[in-house]
Structure 1
Amino acid sequence: MTQAELREVWSTRINDYRASGERVATWCERHQVTPRQLWYWMRKLKGEDEQK
């Protein structure tokens, strides 16, 4: 998976998490990712959005 594809996957996941209204732990367990991964990508993509 390329870096651009990975960013797109996580962007979709973050949008899904935000729309779900679930707690981080609940959403992450359901989607088989760790809360640490979710927070990492939220920070990473937020930083990229601010640079654009």
Structure 2
Amino acid sequence: MEHSLQRLNAAQRVQLWVERITECRSSGKNVRTWCREHEISEKTYYYWQRKLYQQMITTAETVRFAEITCQEERVPNTGATAKISLSGATVEIYPGADTQMIRAILQTLRSC
């Protein structure tokens, strides 16, 4: 139980720093000025920026591929080019689907 609470707290800290770094970058101010205004040490800011970057790289390196087989007799013809079911969610991709939308869907499924 305590371990899951620690994980929750860690996830909350990560989310807080994602928000802070995003806010700093979109403020138009340099890091030193933004940190001073928000009473945050520059050293802490850069520590978290590096930590989040490394976490992003690690996550990107763990991308896995799976073979998808088409079983036409089991899938009703809905006009979809592909049908993906994962963790209780089903996604149907139709001809002409926007590439950016497909990427966003796959990224969301990957985080499940």
Q: Could you list the runs of 5+ residues in structure 1 that have no partner in the other structure?
A: none
Root-mean-square deviation (CA, aligned residues, Å) is 1.2
Higher helix share: 1
Higher strand share: 2
Deviations 1:14-41 (A, max 9, x none): 0001101211111001111010011000
- TM-score, normalised on structure 2? 0.45
Kindly indicate whether residue 35 of structure 2 is the aligned counterpart of residue 32 of structure 1: no
Q: Could you list the runs of 5+ residues in structure 2 that have no partner in the other structure?
A: 1-7, 60-112
Spell out structure 1 runs of 4+ moving beyond 6 A.
Answer: none
Higher relative contact order at CA 8 Å, sep ≥6: structure 1 or structure 2? 1
The 5-angstrom pairing of residues 1-52 of structure 1 reads 2-52=9-59
- Partners of 1:49 and 1:21 lie apart in 2 by 24
Secondary structure at the aligned position of 1:21 is classed as: coil
* Code of the aligned partner of 2:57: E
Identity among equivalent positions (%) equals 33
- TM-score, normalised on structure 1? 0.92
- Partners of 1:32 and 1:6 lie apart in 2 by 17
Aligned residues: 52
